[in-house]
Structure 1
Amino acid sequence: MIGNAALVTGAASPLGAAMALALADLGFNLALQDVASTVNLAEQVRSKGRKAVAMEADMQDAAQLDALVSDASEGLGGPLTCLINSTAPLSPDALVTLSRAEWDQSMDAALWAPLRLAQRFAQQAPKGMRAQNGEPFAQNLILNIIDQRVSDCAPDFMTHSIAAAGLKAFTKTAALDLAPDIRVNAIGLGPQRPGQYQFAAHASDQRFTGEGFANFSEVATAVRYFSQAPAVTGQLMSVRVE
């Protein structure tokens, strides 16, 4: 298993909390970022005997974004060995009405922010270890969370669909660039429960066409797998629950 200090972005969401608690169960100390409070989640992590710091940071603020990794490692008392990029604000847009400002805002949040955090993470990550056979052993992990638009493009979420495809490509290229010290993988989420931008009827259609809803416990299982698979990098695991 890799080291025991992780930064989870978007941790105030049910998905972020599920992933954070899964890492806590594996022995990770956690820095928990969101624009909303993660104080209650931090208490849950501490109840498991782990260290936790709650960080209210805006990923679209350049200064806060640049300082996030160093603040997290300082709060946990050592270098981070795991980064989960799980912050991608979702808002509808379309080709015929899309403005440059909307494009920049979406790309900054969904693509530049995880890339910048990966840069900062790589600069402070411990060097990889070597297994008994002398082969490099990556003790560090970056895990990008991507929704179903990586394979099911949505014209009413134009920039988000493009950013999801970009994050998938970034996962593969970063895995090559950062090997052997850091592994980079992704989890592709299936449809989630009806929310602000999804009607119940559409969600029902997705279930009956076999796509299913993303189940947070299944995503947590995928997080546990990647954290304990030192030979796996550059991979996208799709989580679609029937």
Structure 2
Amino acid sequence: MIGNAALVTGAASPLGAAMALALADLGFDLALQDVASTVNLAEQVRANGRKAVAMEADMQDAAQLDALVSGAADELGGPLTCLINNTAPLSPDALMTLSRGEWDQSMDAALWAPLRLAQRFAQQAPKGMRAQNGEPFAQNLILNIIDQRVSDCAPDFMTHSIAAAGLKAFTKTAALDLAPDIRVNAIGLGPQRPGQYQFAAHASDQRFPGEGFANFSEVAAAVRYFSQAPAVTGQLMSVRVE
């Protein structure tokens, strides 16, 4: 029987950790990637009875991305059945000052890395199953994490706004391409408190209606939902605190 094994990128952040722990609660073994150490998080997951391995990779290096997926599967003892792409950088830039190098760096991290990881994930993912009625049952899941820029573009975060829209489009097109074996969905993340994902100077004017910051427990609930919804694909769920 194929077990549940997930690769979570950007796992060292509070957001990444919340999603990883939500998967662990569902019985997933975890490969945890980030530029910062995920050793403590891995120990926490192991203390709850699941396998966990801390991994490092340069998200702009194709060879390291390939090795990340294969290495995660090897370390966890079987194919990955879940991939969470949570690596989009957030740095300010603007039309009149943006350089080609800055554009390439931002797009590589925000779009190319999720695409490359999805390619390698799909190559090793087990085939979908069938329900009792004969309908395809996709046990594999790719989740892309997108912030509010997907619907609220900002000229001082130009490449990030463009990349968010691109990741939404990638979610829908990949869902069509990878069906019925793999579901591809996205979580649209609301504004977060300074220091968790964005700059303090921008936190106050990046609220969704209701004046609430994104709550990581709500994001974890969205992860649990998508993990347990085998008929849902190509969807973006906006997580807001109203």
TM-score scaled by structure 1? 0.95
Q: Which whole-Å deviations, capped at 9, do the CAs of 1:96-137 have from their partners, x for residues lacking one?
A: 011100000000000000000000000000000000001110
Which aligned runs of 4 or more in structure 1 are off by greater than 4 angstroms?
A: 196-202, 205-209
Q: What is the rounded CA distance, in whole Å, between the counterparts of 1:108 and 1:6 in structure 2?
A: 22
C-alpha distance 28-93 of structure 1, shift in aligned 2 (>3 A): same
Residue of structure 2 in register with 1:144 after alignment: 144
Residue of structure 1 in register with 2:54 after alignment: 54
Q: What is the rounded CA distance, in whole Å, between the counterparts of 2:96 and 2:206 in structure 1?
A: 26
| Deviation for aligned residue 1:63 | 2.0
| Deviation for aligned residue 1:194 | 2.1
| Deviation for aligned residue 1:201 | 6.8
Q: Which whole-Å deviations, capped at 9, do the CAs of 1:123-161 have from their partners, x for residues lacking one?
A: 000000000001110000000000000000011010010
The answer to whether the 8 Å contact 2:90/2:198 transfers is no
The answer to whether the 8 Å contact 1:141/1:227 transfers is yes
Q: Which whole-Å deviations, capped at 9, do the CAs of 1:37-90 have from their partners, x for residues lacking one?
A: 100000010011000010022212232112110010001010000000001111
- Unpaired runs of 5+ in structure 2? none
1:210 and 2:205 correspond: no
Q: Which whole-Å deviations, capped at 9, do the CAs of 1:18-55 have from their partners, x for residues lacking one?
A: 00000000000000000111000000100110000100
The percentage of counterpart residues that share the same residue type is: 95
C-alpha distance 196-133 of structure 1, shift in aligned 2 (>3 A): closer
The answer to whether the 8 Å contact 2:137/2:180 transfers is yes
Q: How many residues align?
A: 242
The answer to whether the 8 Å contact 2:191/2:208 transfers is no
C-alpha distance 204-221 of structure 1, shift in aligned 2 (>3 A): same
The answer to whether the 8 Å contact 2:2/2:78 transfers is no
The answer to whether the 8 Å contact 2:12/2:36 transfers is yes
C-alpha distance 168-160 of structure 1, shift in aligned 2 (>3 A): same
The answer to whether the 8 Å contact 2:190/2:208 transfers is no
**CA RMSD across the alignment:** 1.9
Q: What is the rounded CA distance, in whole Å, between the counterparts of 1:107 and 1:51 in structure 2?
A: 32
C-alpha distance 29-198 of structure 1, shift in aligned 2 (>3 A): closer
- Unpaired runs of 5+ in structure 1? none
TM-score scaled by structure 2? 0.95
C-alpha distance 152-10 of structure 1, shift in aligned 2 (>3 A): same
Q: What is the rounded CA distance, in whole Å, between the counterparts of 2:196 and 2:227 in structure 1?
A: 31
- Give the match's secondary structure for 1:206: coil
| Deviation for aligned residue 1:202 | 4.9
